[in-house]
Each structure stands twice: as C-alpha cells, then as structure tokens.
Structure 1
Amino acid sequence: MFAKPFEKPIRVWVGLGFPRQLNTVADAYQFVIDWCGNSPEQRAAIRACRAALAGDVDAETAKGVFVAFARKKDILIEDGAVPPTVLESAHPKHA
C-alpha cells in the first residue's frame, strides 16, 4: 500500500545542496512530515500524501501538491538545476 510509485520521481535538495530522490508517495510523505515548519503548502502536501496512501486520490495528484510545496520552499530540483550553495558562492551578495 505504501509503495505507490510516481510515474517520474521527484528530486529535492536536502542539507547543503545534496539531492534526494523521492520515488513513492510514502517517500514524499516521510519527507514532508520531517520538514521543519507549518506552512499552508506543507499542510496541503501532508493531506494529499495521506489521501493517496489511503487510496482516496492517485499518486500523481499527491505528487502535484508535493511539487507545489517543494517549489515554494525552493528545494525542487528542476532539469539542469544547480545546488543552492553553488549558486550562492558563484554570485555572492554585496552588503
């Protein structure tokens, strides 16, 4: 039941720019409940993953809500993305 795979995995940044691949609804659910915070996007992702795990919605619906959460938190790895720490060191901010 927990192994509801996504058609295409979700990749997110964790730690100091390390990629993590989420292959199933259970992976996404564990990630989002472990995330510090309590934003509306996080709560929506938790609800969507729970609904998918219960069989109330399909995995791709939950994935869409999770992707919106990850994009809002700027941790979603889009095609050709560079880790945030690399971007910051390449373009230092001036005081």
Structure 2
Amino acid sequence: MMLSQPFEKPVRVWVGLGFPRQLNSVVDAYQFVTDWCGNSPEQKAAIRACKAALAGDIDAETARGILVRFARKKDILVEDGTMTPVKTTGRPLHI
C-alpha cells in the first residue's frame, strides 16, 4: 500500500535555471529524487527513505529530513528566507 504522506513543511529546491520547486509530500519527493540525474549516496538514501515512507515503514518527516540533507549536499535546497539562487560571481543576477 502506498501512502501519500504530506510533509508538515514543504521542501523547496532549485530546479532548471534557478526556478524553485516545492515538494509537498513523500510522493513529490520520490518523483524528484528518482528524476534527478546522478547516483550519489545521498540520492540513494533519499530514494530509500521515500520508498520506506510510501510503504508506511517510516514517517514522512524522517524521509523529509533525508531529502533535505540530499538537497543541501547538492546545493539545491532553498533555505528559509532565500529568494534567489546564491551567486558565485559577486555580481547581481539579471533575470
């Protein structure tokens, strides 16, 4: 049985050319991490955690924490209060 568990607080990640995407549930997170290009240990852990949460083996907040660690490691996590991607050049971002 798959349980679509919502997160208490959505996780926001940067996708594409600096567009934020909001992940509201374990299903959203699972789709995101399985679509992510790569094969890192953090990605594998996030996929396993989402699968476990969907199966009801762990709660959504545990999976959320592992997802946040993956996103932070990949530097795609939108931290609270962050509105634009971090600039590495020191020059303003012109959109």
User: Structure 2 length normalisation: TM-score?
Assistant: 0.88
Rounded to whole Å, the distance in 2 between the matches of 1:61 and 1:15 is 27
- Aligned partner of 2:47 in structure 1 is 46
Offset from partner CA, 1:16-55 (integer Å, 9 cap, x none): 1000000000000000000000000000000000000000
- Aligned partner of 1:55 in structure 2 is 56
Rounded to whole Å, the distance in 2 between the matches of 1:16 and 1:3 is 28
Q: Is the contact between residue 42 and residue 69 of structure 1 (CA under 8 Å) also seen in structure 2?
A: yes
Q: Is the contact between residue 41 and residue 68 of structure 1 (CA under 8 Å) also seen in structure 2?
A: yes
Q: Is the contact between residue 26 and residue 53 of structure 1 (CA under 8 Å) also seen in structure 2?
A: yes
Structure 1 residue 88: Cα displacement: 3.8
Say yes or no: does 1:24 pair with 2:25: yes
Overall identity of the aligned pairs, in %: 74
Q: Mind listing any 5+ residue stretches in structure 2 that lack a counterpart?
A: none
Deviates more, 1:74-83 or 1:60-69: 74-83
Rounded to whole Å, the distance in 1 between the matches of 2:5 and 2:81 is 26
- Aligned partner of 2:35 in structure 1 is 34
Q: Is the contact between residue 13 and residue 83 of structure 1 (CA under 8 Å) also seen in structure 2?
A: no
- Aligned partner of 2:67 in structure 1 is 66
Q: Which has the higher helix share?
A: 1
RMSD: 1.4
User: Structure 1 length normalisation: TM-score?
Assistant: 0.88
Rounded to whole Å, the distance in 1 between the matches of 2:13 and 2:82 is 10
Amino acid at match of 2:66: V
Structure 1 residue 82: Cα displacement: 4.0
Q: Is the contact between residue 25 and residue 53 of structure 1 (CA under 8 Å) also seen in structure 2?
A: yes
Rounded to whole Å, the distance in 2 between the matches of 1:57 and 1:2 is 11
Amino acid at match of 1:83: T
